[in-house]
């Protein structure tokens, strides 16, 4: 492959699919849904040629459970869907978190609620990505804003899933997945590809849920003699159901804390003109592209606008956000919903006004659409 | 040559006093004991081990893995915990 | 796991996490009888060198029956309610040397998980499904199940169950399973033989086990002592050889037909899929 051939002209679905292949995906289960289907279709042509398994299940509930089973059988496993399908996966997102199965879920956001507009864009799944399942657990969500990032962040999603043994969600949107762009398909060693820790002790001594210092337990694979029991109930280090306060507390805290203590491999964001920004925009995904255009035009006219674009949405780099907001008089959160990321930004920034600019258009908002909503604060 | 005698082992702490074995035994040689196990159940006892025919119906019907039958030199009841 | 002391006393203890016994099931519960038959089948197969138990993947859903996965000393999982089949499917397709067994309740498999059941049978997915049918939602305290006889008084049908019960055997047959049998806990030896036959096969295999739940179901219908419910079941089951699965009546008042209703050797899904991918 020449250097040229490493360049693709891909939409974000196909770029994410290529990223997954580079990360070593070898199991995919999914159910068709707009706008995620062409990611599935793309992988359906490619994965079998590379020794992977890809199947269409009877519904998204089967898909998510199949990838969790596959993950415990040693696979790098993923699925992709959109809001309605993501909702159906709710219970088993918590299952994956509870049994610490590394999996990647791509959610191509479309408008909601309910069936919404299947062919229109939205960003209404921010809180869903964080709190989809019941109970308290940790989860990671990453949001690309270009096809290149879709490629890069899918690799990162697999890496985080494998290293921390958590479900990782890639939040994309309808606009991104239907915009073709140049993507450089970086390969190792230019990109790192990580795999989960394996047990370092013989089966007789192995405790499947006993964490190392990084709070992540080494993971045995089915069929290798470890006779590991994967328990959805509250469990001790052996994986046995116990109803003791200390075991419950330690487990639930660890499921979140393992992300916090390893946040250096998760946190990610990009800042534009934030050094001296007086008006700081916060936006992610395709919306951030329109906001960036506003900021650039403003700068050309001498206005001190800046943009903070979180890439890791859950968890967000709140220290970096606070620092970026230091010189700002106002913070404006622009998102294609009625206030979700806003809640997190507003929670973090305590000493200055945070405004919500909800953009409820069906297509990618133009800078003018956004300016219209924001004008009263500018 | 088929063994003539059987050793019947009762795993006392697993027995839940369901009495399926007692009722199913074709020779009626099992009975509820007087002693209680760790969980408060009066585990099954063998009244006449010499009458056991080794059919193992008691073993196979037991939901609790609490009784089993093996060929042996002499008729015997063993209580394991 | 040698970390905990695992006493070995009983002939099948090798396959149990014995440090967890006694198990949670009530006195006289048919789940234990069924699990016991399964253990004996595995033991015989392994003793004969026909199976490597370290490749068994024992998956359960939620329910009293679902607790089984936690007592067996195999690879396994206790998945969300109804999701054992797709979980096992994912594992098997990712690692074809696994021998997946799904051991779960009737509500789990043909109630909430019914769609997975149908489609796994349709694909002829390589999995042995042991469906423990106690005719009730036991773990949750006695609500109506899809298998509950019509007219039965349960906690959620206080005026009698208005629904007709589901016949899992016919569903599996309509969807295209390789192996279909129904047994009852009144016949543990025949059940064991059936498991022993079906476990090494490929494709979708269903063994429905009509079970007894004296504590919950028995209480509702007036057969509270395990032996009474056992005798009542014994009265209604009839073994029939060589009949079509579509004739395998399931009627608690008239007759419940036991037997082996379908034995085919069509290639399992794993093989079909790998074959298809070869041409990719
Ligand atoms: C999604 C979901 N809904 C409901 C429940 C509550 N629930 C637990 S077990 C069960 C029914 C169990 O019945 P069955 O599968 O027949 O198993 P049994 O207890 O009779 O062995 C229900 C409804 C649950 N755990 N999860």
What's the CATH fold of domain A1-266? Rossmann fold (3.40.50)
A104 within 8 A of A158, measured Cβ to Cβ: yes
User: Contact partners of B by the rule of 3+ C-beta pairs under 8 A?
Assistant: C
- In this structure, what token pair is assigned to residue A344? 């997190």
**Helix (H/G/I), strand (E/B), else coil: A208:** coil
Q: What domains are defined for chain C? A: 21-279 (3.40.50.970)
Partner-chain contact B63 C28, CB within 8 Å: yes
| A24 shares contact with chain C (CB less than 8 Å) | no
φ, ψ of residue C176 in degrees (nearest 5): 105, 40
pLDDT digits 0-9 by tens, A58-69 = 999 999 999 999
The answer regarding whether domain A269-374 maps to CATH 3.30.390.50 reads: no
Residue C280 confidence class, pLDDT cut points 50, 70, 90:
low
Nearest to C27 among B16, B65, B80 (CB): B16
pLDDT score, position C279: 76
A345 within 8 A of A321, measured Cβ to Cβ: yes
Q: Is the pLDDT of residue C99 over 90?
A: yes
Pocket of ligand 1 (CB under 6 A): C 62-65, 81, 105-108, 134, 136-140, 145
| C270 shares contact with chain A (CB less than 8 Å) | no
Nearest to C4 among A72, A227, A238 (CB): A238
Q: Is the pLDDT of residue C5 over 90?
A: no
Contacts with B11 from chain C: Cβ below 8 Å:
9-10
Instruction: Please tell me the distance from the alpha carbon of residue A333 to that of residue A331, in angstroms, as a whole number.
Output: 7
Partner-chain contact B61 C188, CB within 8 Å: yes
Task: Write the Ramachandran bin of A223: left for phi over 0, alpha for psi from -120 to 50, otherwise beta.
Answer: left
Q: Mean pLDDT over residues C130-135, rounded?
A: 98
Q: Is the pLDDT of residue A32 over 50?
A: yes
Q: Mean pLDDT over residues A251-258, rounded?
A: 98
Partner-chain contact C87 A229, CB within 8 Å: no
- A269-374 has the same fold as A1-266: yes
Instruction: Please tell me the distance from the alpha carbon of residue C156 to that of residue C165, in angstroms, as a whole number.
Output: 15
Residue B45 confidence class, pLDDT cut points 50, 70, 90:
very high
- How far off is chain C from A30, nearest CA to CA, in Å? 11
Domain range holding B11?
Answer: 5-80
A27 within 8 A of A53, measured Cβ to Cβ: yes
In chain C the beta strands, taken as DSSP E runs, fall at 56-60, 75-78, 99-105, 127-133, 179-184, 204-210, 237-239, 256-263
Contacts with C13 from chain B: Cβ below 8 Å:
65
For residue C167, the CA-to-ligand 1 centroid distance in Å is 19
Residue A190, Cβ density class (10 Å: 0-12 exposed, 13-18 middle, ≥19 buried): exposed
Q: Mean pLDDT over residues A326-330, rounded?
A: 97
Output the domain CATH number for residue B65.
3.30.70.20
For residue C72, the CA-to-ligand 1 centroid distance in Å is 20
DSSP labels, A111-174: S-STT--TTSB--TTHHHHHH-SSS----EEE--SSHHHHHHHHHHHHHHHHHHT-EEEEEEEH
For residue C121, the CA-to-ligand 1 centroid distance in Å is 22
Pick from B64, B62, B78, B61: nearest CA to B5: B78
The structural domains of chain A, with segments of one domain joined by +, span 1-266, 269-374
Partner-chain contact C75 A49, CB within 8 Å: no
Per-state percent for chain B, helix, strand, coil, to nearest 5 = 20, 35, 45
Cα(first)–Cα(last) distance of chain A, in Å?
Answer: 50
Nearest to C31 among B39, B63, B66 (CB): B63
Q: Mean pLDDT over residues C244-270, rounded?
A: 98
Q: Whose CA is nearest to atom 22 of ligand 1?
A: C140
Residue A191 confidence class, pLDDT cut points 50, 70, 90:
very high
Counting the structural domains of chain B, the total is 1
Using CA atoms, how far residue A9 sits from A22, A38, A156, in Å, is: 16, 15, 21
Residue A235 confidence class, pLDDT cut points 50, 70, 90:
very high
pLDDT score, position C1: 40
Instruction: Please tell me the distance from the alpha carbon of residue A340 to that of residue A171, in angstroms, as a whole number.
Output: 14
Measured from the Cα of C108, ligand 1's closest atom is 15
Beta-sheet strand order (sheet of A269-272): A269-272, A305-310, A279-282, A330-335, A354-358
pLDDT digits 0-9 by tens, A145-169 = 999 999 999 999 999 999 999 999 9
Q: Mean pLDDT over residues A193-202, rounded?
A: 98
Mean pLDDT of chain C: 96
Q: Mean pLDDT over residues A219-247, rounded?
A: 98
Q: Mean pLDDT over residues C65-92, rounded?
A: 98
Q: Which of A147-151, A341-345, C5-9 has the lowest mean pLDDT?
A: C5-9
pLDDT digits 0-9 by tens, C226-235 = 999 999 999 9
| CB atoms closer than 10 angstroms to residue A282 | 29
Nearest to B63 among C29, C189, C225 (CB): C29
Residue B2 confidence class, pLDDT cut points 50, 70, 90:
low
- In this structure, what token pair is assigned to residue C237? 């089951």
**Helix (H/G/I), strand (E/B), else coil: A181:** strand
Reported residue count of chain A is 378
C108 within 8 A of C81, measured Cβ to Cβ: yes
Q: Mean pLDDT over residues A178-197, rounded?
A: 96
Instruction: Please tell me the distance from the alpha carbon of residue A131 to that of residue A135, in angstroms, as a whole number.
Output: 9
pLDDT score, position C2: 40
User: Contact partners of A by the rule of 3+ C-beta pairs under 8 A?
Assistant: C
pLDDT score, position B4: 87
Q: Is the pLDDT of residue B3 over 80?
A: no
* Percent of chain A at pLDDT exceeding 70: 99
pLDDT digits 0-9 by tens, A96-114 = 999 999 999 999 999 999 9
| CB atoms closer than 10 angstroms to residue A189 | 7
Partner-chain contact B19 C36, CB within 8 Å: no
Q: Mean pLDDT over residues A333-360, rounded?
A: 98
Cα angle C131, C135, C136; round to 5: 110
Q: What is the pTM of this model?
A: 0.97
In chain A the beta strands, taken as DSSP E runs, fall at 7-10, 27-30, 53-56, 77-81, 103-109, 140-142, 167-173, 181-184, 229-231, 269-272, 279-282, 305-310, 312-314, 330-335, 354-358
Instruction: Please tell me the distance from the alpha carbon of residue A67 to that of residue A78, in angstroms, as a whole number.
Output: 6
- How far off is chain B from C10, nearest CA to CA, in Å? 7
């Amino acid at each position: 492959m020449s250097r040229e051939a490493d360049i693709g002209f891909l939409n974000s679905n196909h770029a994410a699919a290529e990223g997954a292949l580079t990360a070593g995906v070898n199991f995919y289960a999914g159910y068709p849904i707009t706008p995620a289907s062409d990611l599935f279709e793309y992988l359906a042509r490619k994965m079998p040629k590379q020794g992977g398994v890809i199947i269409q299940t009877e519904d998204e509930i089967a898909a998510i459970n199949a990838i969790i089973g596959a993950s415990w059988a040693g696979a790098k496993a993923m699925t992709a869907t959109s809001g309605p399908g993501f909702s159906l996966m709710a219970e088993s997102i918590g299952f994956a978190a509870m049994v610490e199965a590394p999996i990647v879920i791509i959610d191509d956001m479309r408008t909601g609620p309910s069936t919404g507009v299947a062919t229109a864009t939205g960003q209404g799944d921010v809180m869903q990505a964080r709190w989809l399942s019941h109970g308290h657990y940790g989860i990671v969500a990453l949001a690309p804003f270009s096809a290149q990032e879709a490629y890069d962040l899918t690799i990162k999603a697999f890496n985080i899933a494998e290293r921390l043994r958590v479900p990782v969600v890639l939040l994309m949107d309808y606009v991104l997945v239907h915009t073709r762009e140049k993507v450089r398909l970086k390969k190792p060693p230019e990109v790192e590809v990580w795999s989960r820790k394996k047990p370092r002790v013989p089966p007789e001594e192995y405790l499947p849920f006993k964490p190392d210092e990084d709070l992540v337990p080494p993971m045995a694979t089915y069929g290798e003699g470890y006779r590991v029991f994967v328990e959805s109930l509250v469990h001790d280090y052996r994986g046995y159901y116990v109803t003791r306060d200390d075991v419950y507390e330690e487990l639930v805290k660890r499921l979140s804390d393992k992300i916090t203590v390893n946040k250096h491999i998760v946190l990610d964001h990009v800042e534009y003109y934030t050094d001296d920004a007086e008006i700081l925009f916060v936006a992610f995904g395709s919306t951030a592209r329109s906001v960036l255009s506003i900021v650039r035009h403003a700068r050309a006219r001498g206005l001190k606008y800046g943009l903070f674009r979180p890439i890791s949405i859950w968890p967000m780099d709140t220290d970096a956000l606070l620092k970026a907001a230091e010189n700002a008089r106002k913070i404006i959160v622009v998102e294609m919903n009625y206030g979700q990321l806003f809640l997190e930004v507003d929670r973090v920034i305590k000493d200055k006004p945070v405004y919500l600019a909800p953009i409820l258009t069906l297509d990618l908002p133009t800078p003018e659409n956004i300016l219209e909503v924001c004008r009263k604060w500018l | 040559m088929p063994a003539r005698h059987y050793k019947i082992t009762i795993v006392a702490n697993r027995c839940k006093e369901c009495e399926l074995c007692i009722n199913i035994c074709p020779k009626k040689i099992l009975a509820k004991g007087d002693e209680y196990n760790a969980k408060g159940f009066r585990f099954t006892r063998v009244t006449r081990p010499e009458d056991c025919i080794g059919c193992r119906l008691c073993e196979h019907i037991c939901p609790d893995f609490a009784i089993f039958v093996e060929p042996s030199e002499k008729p015997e009841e063993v209580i394991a915990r | 796991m040698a970390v905990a002391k695992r006493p070995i006393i009983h002939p099948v203890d090798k396959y149990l996490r014995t440090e967890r016994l006694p198990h949670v099931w009530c006195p006289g519960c048919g789940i234990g009888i069924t699990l016991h038959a399964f253990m004996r089948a595995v033991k015989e197969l392994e003793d004969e060198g026909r199976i490597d138990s370290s490749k068994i993947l024992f998956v359960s859903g939620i329910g009293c029956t679902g607790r089984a996965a936690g007592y067996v000393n195999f690879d396994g999982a206790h998945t969300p309610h109804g999701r054992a089949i797709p979980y096992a499917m994912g594992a098997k397709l990712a690692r074809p040397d696994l021998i997946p067994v799904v051991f779960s309740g009737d509500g789990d498999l043909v109630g909430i998980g019914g769609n997975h059941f149908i489609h796994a049978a349709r694909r002829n997915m390589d999995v042995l499904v042991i469906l423990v049918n106690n005719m009730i939602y036991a773990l949750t305290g006695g609500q109506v199940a899809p298998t509950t006889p019509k007219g039965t008084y349960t906690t959620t049908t206080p005026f009698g169950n208005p629904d007709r019960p589901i016949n899992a055997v016919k569903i599996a047959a309509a969807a295209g399973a390789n192996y279909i049998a129904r047994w009852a806990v009144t016949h543990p030896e025949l059940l064991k033989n059936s498991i022993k036959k079906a476990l090494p096969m490929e494709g979708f295999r269903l063994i429905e086990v009509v079970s007894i739940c004296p504590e919950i179901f028995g209480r509702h219908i007036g057969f509270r002592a395990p032996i009474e419910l056992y005798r009542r079941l014994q009265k209604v089951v009839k073994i029939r050889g060589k009949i079509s699965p579509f004739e395998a009546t399931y009627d608690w008042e008239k007759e419940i037909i036991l037997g082996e209703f379908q034995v085919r050797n069509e290639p399992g899904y794993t093989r079909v899929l790998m074959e298809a991918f070869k041409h990719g």
